[in-house]
Amino acid sequence: MTQAIVCCNQEGLVLGTDSLVLRELEGGQVERLIERKLFTIGSHAAVVSAGAAVGVELSAQLSHWLERRGLMDWDDMLALSRDFLAEGYARHLRASHTRLEARSAEYRHLCFIIGGYSGRAPSPYEAILLQSEAGELPFQETRLGRVFTLPRRTALEGRIARQIIEGLELRALAETCRASLEGIAERNPEAIAAPFQIALVTASGVEFLEEGQSVGTAE
């Protein structure tokens, strides 16, 4: 299971997630892995995967593929990312078709959240959800609002939305996301695990905040 949070204000966008990946093995056993799930794509965007473990591999491959292209244009980056992820997932499905037939829907469900800087007024930061419920392609695509959690946590979304309306600055929003992930992990340690990965996307690019790094209001 993955817990992801994405939110944005006029300063930038925050994308956060935990590090637990559940990989189903032959025979139905489930392996618990701690892996990075949040990656830069292009120069001004990031992606996080949830659901099937193959999403982590595809996100890492996408990040590496786009690394030297230095894309800043949101539409170009999104189009390339959408096609790359769909093609990669299609290859995975073809290669594992027989094994997937016997697997639960939980391990066939796959999502990606892509968030980045578009530069378009009045909302210069955008986020997109790509999802496949049970191996279907193309991905279902949903444009997200200013706050979104996966799985959905409406109380948390409402709290963050109020903070945005009240004018909370970007790094303080990042602190809210990290604290929220920590709280969810305490209540549900079998499904959510540290370290927690947080990225800030601004007009200057992507900044990763490492575990233990203060993300409070700068002096």
Determine the pLDDT at residue 39: 97
Better pLDDT: 210 or 14: 14
Q: Which two tokens stand for residue 147?
A: 């706050």
Determine the pLDDT at residue 28: 73
Question: Could you give the CA distance from residue 177 to residue 121 in angstroms, rounded to a whole number?
Answer: 25
Of the listed ranges 66-75, 121-130, 163-172, the one predicted with least confidence: 66-75
Mean pLDDT over each residue of the chain, to the nearest integer: 90
Question: Could you give the CA distance from residue 78 to residue 33 in angstroms, rounded to a whole number?
Answer: 28
pTM of the predicted structure, to 2 decimals: 0.91
Report all structural domains of the chain as residue ranges with CATH numbers, in order of start. Answer: 4-207 (3.60.20.10)
Question: Could you give the CA distance from residue 197 to residue 25 in angstroms, rounded to a whole number?
Answer: 26
